[in-house]
Chains A and B, each alone.
Chain A
Amino acid sequence: MAAHLCPLHPCLSAINMAMEITQVLLSAQSPDGHTRTLAEANLKQFQEQNLPLFLLSLSVELSSEQKPPESRRLAGIILKNSLDAKDAVRKEELTQRWVSVEPSIKSQIKESLLRTLGSSVSDARQTSSQVIAKVASIEVPRREWQELIGLLLNNMTQPDAPAPLKQSTLEALGYVCEEVSPQDLEQDQVNAILTAVVQGMNQTEHSSEVRLAAVKALYNALDFAQTNFENEVERNFIMKVVCETTMSKESEIRQAAIECLVSIASTYYEYLEPYMQTLFNLTANAVRGDEEPVALQAIEFWSSICDEEIQIQEEFGEDNGESSSPHSNFIKQALPTLVPLMLETLLKQEEDQDQEDGVWNLSMAGGTCLGLIARTVGDAVVPLVMPFVENNITKGDWRSREAATFAFGSILEGPSIEKLAPLVHSGLEFLLNAMKDQNSHVKDTTAWTLGRIFEFLHSAGGEYPILTATNLPHIMSVLLESIRDSPNVAEKVCGAIYFLAQGFEDAGSSSSILTPYLGDTVSALLSTADRTDPSNVRLRSSAYETLNEIVRCSSIPETSNMVAHLLHEIMNRLSKTLELHIASLEDREKQGDLQALLCGVLQVILQKLSNSTEAKPIILQSADQMMILFLQVFACRSSTVHEEAMLAIGALAYATGPEFAKYMQEFYKYLEMGLQNFEEYQVCSISVGVVGDICRALDDKVLPYCDGIMSQLLKDLSSPMLHRSVKPPIFSCFGDIALAIGEHFEKYVPYVIPMLQGAAELCSHLDVNDDDMQEYGNQLRRGIFEAYSGILQGFKGPKAALMVPCASPLLSFIEAVVRDKNRDEEVTKAAVAVMGDLADTLGPNTKILFKDCTFHMELLGECFRSDSDQLKETATWTQGMIQRVLVL
Chain B
Amino acid sequence: MTPQEGRRPIKRSTVSDQQRRRELALVRQAQQRSDSQNRARRLASSVLGLHSSPEPALPDDAIEPEQAPELNWAQTEADLTESEVPARDLNVVQASKLRGREARRWFAHQLMLPEWMIDVPPHLDRDWYVFARPAGNRCFVVSSNGTTISRLRNGSVLHHFPSSLPNGSRTRDMSGPASSYSILDCIFHEPNQTYYVIDMVCWRGYSLYDCTAEFRFFWLNSKLAESGACNSPSTYHRYTFSVVPIYDCDQAGLRAAYSSVVPYVKDGLLFYNKHAHYQTGNTPLALVWKDNYCSEYFLDTDSKGLVPTQQQVVLEMQDDGRLTTSDDPPVVFGCVEADFIQKSGLQAGNLLRFAIRDESVSLIDGKLEIGDLQFVSKVNRARAFADSYSKVFFQYAARHSPLRIEDLAASVQPTFLLKRIVPVFGRLPWKFCTDGRDAGLLVIHIPIPSEKG
Listed in ascending order, the chain A residues whose CB lies under 8 Å from chain B are: 262, 292-293, 296-297, 300, 303, 357-361, 364-365, 367-368, 370-371, 410, 445, 448, 495, 498, 541-542, 545, 548-549, 596, 600, 603-604, 607, 644, 647, 650-651, 654, 682, 686, 689, 692-693, 696, 732, 735-736, 739, 786, 789-790, 793-794, 796, 833, 836-837, 840, 864, 869-870, 872-874, 876-877, 879-880, 883-884, 887
Contacts and interface: CB of A to CB of B under 8 A. Distances in A.
Contacts of A794: 40
A732 B36 CA distance: 13
Interface of B: 1-4, 7-13, 15, 17-18, 21-22, 24-26, 28-29, 32-33, 36-37, 40-41, 43, 45-46, 51-52, 93, 176-177, 179-180, 204-207, 211, 215, 218-219, 222
B7 A300 contact: yes
B192 to A, nearest CB: 31
Given A368-B7, A869-B51, A887-B222, A790 B37 contact: yes
A548 B25 contact: no
Contacts of B45: 873
Contacts of B218: 887
Nearest to A547: B17
Contacts of A448: 11
B1 A292 contact: yes
A873 B43 contact: yes
A370 B43 CA distance: 51
B37 A883 contact: no
B40 A739 contact: yes
Contacts of B13: 495, 542
A365 B3 contact: yes
A573 to B, nearest CB: 17
Nearest to A369: B10
Contacts of B46: 870, 873
29 contacts: A300-B3, A300-B4, A300-B7, A358-B3, A361-B1, A364-B11, A367-B11, A495-B15, A600-B17, A600-B18, A647-B21, A647-B22, A686-B22, A689-B29, A696-B32, A736-B36, A786-B33, A794-B40, A837-B41, A870-B46, A873-B51, A876-B177, A877-B41, A877-B43, A879-B204, A879-B206, A883-B206, A884-B206, A884-B211
Nearest to B13: A495
Contacts of B176: 864, 876, 879
Nearest to A877: B43
B25 A603 contact: yes
A296 B7 CA distance: 12
A90 B69 CA distance: 69
Given A297-B4, A840-B41, A873-B45, 5 more contacts: A495-B13, A600-B18, A607-B28, A651-B28, A887-B222
B43 A874 contact: yes
Contact of B1 (A262, A293, A686, A732): A293
Contacts of A545: 15, 17
B205 A876 contact: yes
Contacts of A732: 33
B143 to A, nearest CB: 15
Q: Report, nearest first, the 10 A-B pairs whose CB atoms are least far apart.
A: A880-B206, A545-B17, A793-B40, A876-B205, A368-B10, A864-B177, A371-B10, A360-B3, A360-B1, A358-B12
A651 B25 contact: yes
B158 to A, nearest CB: 27
A643 to B, nearest CB: 8
B5 to A, nearest CB: 10
Contacts of A739: 36-37, 40
A296 B1 contact: yes
B51 A870 contact: yes
Given A736-B33, A840-B41, A548 B51 contact: no
A30 B1 CA distance: 35
A793 B3 contact: no
Contacts of B40: 739, 793-794, 796
Nearest to A837: B41
B41 A367 contact: no
A686 B25 contact: yes
Nearest to B177: A864
B206 A833 contact: no
A883 B179 CA distance: 18
B238 to A, nearest CB: 27
Nearest to B41: A877
Contacts of B36: 696, 736, 739
Contacts of B51: 869-870, 873
A794 B10 CA distance: 50
A262 B206 contact: no
A11 to B, nearest CB: 53
A360 B2 contact: yes
Contacts of A360: 1-3, 9
A650 B29 contact: yes
Contacts of A370: 10
B41 A793 contact: yes
Nearest to B207: A880
Given A296-B1, A361-B1, A793-B41, A650 B25 contact: yes
Contacts of B177: 864, 872, 876
A682 B180 contact: no
Contacts of A833: 37, 41
A512 to B, nearest CB: 18
Q: Most chain-B CB neighbours within 10 Å: which of A682, A836, A837, A864?
A: A864
A584 B18 CA distance: 26
Contact of B9 (A359, A607, A840): A359
A370 B10 CA distance: 9
B26 A689 contact: yes
A793 B206 contact: no
A879 B25 CA distance: 32
Contacts of A367: 10-11
A872 B179 contact: yes
Contacts of B52: 869
B8 A368 contact: yes
Contacts of A410: 10
Contacts of A303: 7
Given A654-B28, A789-B37, A833-B37, A548 B1 contact: no
Contacts of A836: 41
A686 B29 CA distance: 11
A644 B177 CA distance: 45
A166 B73 CA distance: 83
Contacts of A603: 21, 25
A371 B10 CA distance: 7
Contacts of B43: 873-874, 877
B379 to A, nearest CB: 38
Contacts of B222: 887
Nearest to A610: B28
Contact of A682 (B4, B22, B206, B215): B22
A371 B26 CA distance: 31
Contacts of A693: 29, 32
Contacts of B215: 884
A887 B207 CA distance: 15
Q: Most chain-B CB neighbours within 10 Å: which of A368, A607, A732?
A: A368
A604 B21 contact: yes
A840 B51 CA distance: 23
Q: Most chain-A CB neighbours within 10 Å: which of B10, B45, B179, B219?
A: B10
A874 B34 CA distance: 11
Contacts of A647: 21-22, 25
Contacts of A607: 24-25, 28
A367 B12 CA distance: 12
Contacts of A297: 4
Q: Most chain-A CB neighbours within 10 Å: which of B13, B46, B215?
A: B13
A770 to B, nearest CB: 18
Nearest to B218: A887
Nearest to B206: A880
B115 to A, nearest CB: 28
B278 to A, nearest CB: 14
Given A604-B21, A689-B26, A873 B93 contact: yes
